[in-house]
């Protein structure tokens, strides 16, 4: 039976530790990498001379990769966070920070796809 001054074991929600700080750091760095890639892609596409000229740097494959690069970085980061969630949970650590980071990165990926893909890919995806 649990006593009044004991903390419950199990999920350890509300406790803070090194894993939580690592998850926050990872989510911030993955977000910065994805947003940086999106900004770089938007600047790159802004130098393309229109839809009629197909240059080596502004062709359909390049614009598609530039449009989906940022969301793919966030997808990879989110999946890695969920893998870390399982690994930390398996050894009995504080896992909830990694799960929160995973959901944050996947939500940001959906937002980035809905906002950033159409302007960068443009006529390539016929959006």
Each residue of 1-33: pLDDT tens digit? 556 555 555 666 666 778 999 999 999 999 999
| Confidence check: pLDDT of 113 > 70 | yes
For residue 85, pLDDT over 80 is answered with: yes
Q: Count of domains in the chain?
A: 1
Residue 4 lies in a domain: no
pLDDT, tens digit (0-9, with 9 covering 90-100), for 38-80: 999 989 888 877 655 566 667 888 888 888 999 999 999 999 9
Q: How much is the pTM?
A: 0.82
Residues 6+ apart with CB under 8 A from 5: none
- Look at residue 16 in the predicted model and tell me its pLDDT: 72
CA diameter of the chain: 75
Q: What is the span of the domain harbouring residue 80?
A: 19-45+58-124
Residue 50 included in any domain: no
> Could you tell me which residues come within 8 angstroms of residue 81 by beta carbon, excluding any fewer than 6 positions away?
23, 26, 27, 98, 99, 101, 102, 105
Q: What percent of the chain has pLDDT over 70?
A: 79
30, part of any domain: yes
């Amino acid at each position: 039976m649990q006593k009044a001054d004991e903390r419950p074991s199990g999920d350890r929600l509300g406790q803070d530790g090194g894993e939580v700080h690592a998850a926050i750091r990872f989510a911030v760095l993955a977000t910065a990498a994805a947003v940086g890639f999106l900004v770089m892609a938007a600047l790159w596409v802004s130098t393309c001379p229109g839809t009629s000229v197909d240059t080596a740097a502004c062709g359909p494959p390049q614009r598609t990769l530039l449009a989906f690069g940022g969301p793919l970085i966030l997808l990879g980061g989110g999946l890695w966070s969920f893998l870390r969630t399982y690994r930390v949970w398996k050894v009995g650590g504080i896992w909830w920070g990694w799960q929160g980071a995973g959901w944050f990165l996947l939500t940001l990926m959906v937002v980035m796809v809905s906002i950033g893909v159409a302007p960068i890919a443009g006529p390539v995806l016929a959006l």
